[in-house]
Amino acid sequence: MFLEITLPLVNVVLFSYKDVGFYKKFQIFGFDFKIKKEVTDAEYCDALEKWYEDNTGEVLKLEKPQTINEKIQWLKLYDSNKLKMQLSDKIAARSYIAETIGDEYLIPVAGIWEKPEDIDFNTLPSQFVLKCNNSKYSGIKVKNINVVNRKSLYKKVVKWLSEDYSGNTPECQYKGITPKVIVEEYIEDSRGDINEFKVLCFNGEPKYVYVDKHTQKAKTRDIYDLDWELQPFTCEYKNSGIITPPPANMHRMLEVARKLSKNFYLVRVDFYNADQKLYINGLNFAPNNGIAKFSPSDYSLVMGKMLTIPTDSNSAGTEKICA
């Protein structure tokens, strides 16, 4: 469900409940309403263009995309790589990761269920991560099962499993995934914390490393190149203001990312790096859903020029994978 009410004239959001998706707007007594709508296959392209403009304030140029955000939208529609669509399923991705780089990079799993009512919380470890296989947007870290609200957890899982993220976020590679619940081991380092290292790969080659940190106040993101120089731009989140030393196993991390990204135009390989032990936290084929806010804004174009897709050589196909 998506519902947003905006006060007339002053354009102030009075109420907002956002479950990301396509939506339609209408007015009642001068108030602007937005409600999520179902989108047919035939409407998908127009809805994507409208969704993109609503989220970025920019017109989406699908015929000749230039920025990284525009190219991500094109890949959502036209990149029919079956392997990418298979690996968007978090469970199917585990087999591919194990075969490609080894199962030592997999986060241990405590259980997989098709129905949330089948989960026996009494058998779970005291700490775990609860997520679903059909989306990159689900995930709850449970540090103490004895104090968590189990009914609330159950309701969130039911909601996650009911969503079709190919039409909600919108990302076509999630189309057709049979939703399941996964409980993974809780990963942390000797500090009782964990940094996320996200390697952004263009055309099979690592280009940037995002270092994401979580505090009680906010999430931060520092962006480094492969020489570990802090970059003069931000993507979606502010810098932490603290230089993180390059991990001692950076060479191995980049090599793993290179192997996992070799079959794709664009993929962000997300790692947990716990005391030099690497775990794959996911393969992201549409980072920040292709609507990331860059500062300065022209870095979306800078990154777009680094990514080669078929439209750059006028060899693009016309078959939409969501149609």
With a pLDDT cut of 90, the percent of the chain lying above it is: 55
Band of residue 315 on the pLDDT scale cut at 50, 70, 90: low
**More reliable by pLDDT, 257 or 19:** 257
Per-residue pLDDT averaged across 52-72, rounded?
A: 93
Any domain includes 297: no
Any domain includes 271: no
Phi, psi of 65 (to 5 degrees): -65, 140
Query: Is the pLDDT score of 36 beyond 90?
Result: no
Band of residue 107 on the pLDDT scale cut at 50, 70, 90: very high
Any domain includes 29: yes
Residue-wise DSSP of 296-323: STTHHHHHHHH---GGGGT------TT-
Band of residue 16 on the pLDDT scale cut at 50, 70, 90: low
Distances (CA, A) of 22 to 54, 80, 160: 10, 22, 17
Any domain includes 116: yes
**More reliable by pLDDT, 78 or 10:** 78
Per-residue pLDDT averaged across 42-52, rounded?
A: 84
Any domain includes 293: no
CA distance 323 to 94: 28
State the pLDDT at residue 116.
Answer: 85
Query: Is the pLDDT score of 21 beyond 50?
Result: no
Query: Is the pLDDT score of 33 beyond 70?
Result: no
Query: Is the pLDDT score of 22 beyond 80?
Result: no
Number of domains in the chain: 2
Picking from 65, 19, 21, 56, the residue whose alpha carbon sits closest to that of residue 39 is 21
Q: Kindly report the CATH number assigned to the domain that includes residue 117.
A: 3.30.1490
Picking from 143, 126, 235, 228, the residue whose alpha carbon sits closest to that of residue 194 is 143
State the pLDDT at residue 95.
Answer: 95
Q: What domain range is 118 assigned to?
A: 108-186
CA distance 69 to 297: 11
Angular region, 173: left φ>0, alpha ψ -120 to 50, beta rest: alpha
Any domain includes 139: yes
Band of residue 312 on the pLDDT scale cut at 50, 70, 90: confident
The residue out of 186, 209, 229 marking a domain boundary is 186
Phi, psi of 230 (to 5 degrees): -65, 130
Residue-wise DSSP of 38-98: ---GGGHHHHHHHHHHHHHSS----SS--SHHHHHHHHHHH---HHHHHHTSHHHHHHHHH
State the pLDDT at residue 11.
Answer: 58
State the pLDDT at residue 279.
Answer: 97
The residue out of 186, 209, 241 marking a domain boundary is 186
Band of residue 3 on the pLDDT scale cut at 50, 70, 90: low
Per-residue pLDDT averaged across 232-256, rounded?
A: 96
Query: Is the pLDDT score of 9 beyond 60?
Result: no
Distances (CA, A) of 175 to 27, 62, 76, 80, 134: 32, 21, 11, 11, 9
- pTM for the structure as a whole: 0.86
State the pLDDT at residue 233.
Answer: 97
Distances (CA, A) of 117 to 95, 120, 150, 151, 251: 26, 8, 11, 11, 43
**More reliable by pLDDT, 247 or 215:** 247
Q: What is the CA radius of gyration of the chain?
A: 20
Which amino acid appears at position 148 of this protein? V
- Burial pattern 58-75, b for ≥16 Cβ within 10 A else e, equals eebbbeebebbbbbbbbb
Q: Mutual orientation of helices 44-56 and 68-78 as an angle, nearest 10°? A: 160
Picking from 64, 286, 318, 263, the residue whose alpha carbon sits closest to that of residue 166 is 286
pLDDT, tens digit, for every residue of 262-309?
999 999 999 999 999 999 999 999 999 999 999 999 999 999 999 999
Strands 205-214 and 277-284: unpaired
Collapsed DSSP state (helix, strand, coil) of residue 251: helix
DSSP bridge pairs for 244: none
CA distance 244 to 222: 8
Any domain includes 100: no
Largest CA distance in the chain: 61
State the pLDDT at residue 31.
Answer: 65
For residue 151, the surrounding DSSP H or E stretch is: helix 150-162
State the pLDDT at residue 20.
Answer: 40
Any domain includes 306: no
Band of residue 18 on the pLDDT scale cut at 50, 70, 90: very low
Q: Percentage helix, strand, coil, to 5, in the chain?
A: 30, 25, 40
Query: Is the pLDDT score of 148 beyond 90?
Result: no
Q: 257: which 2 tokens? A: 């990312």
The residue out of 166, 186, 206 marking a domain boundary is 186
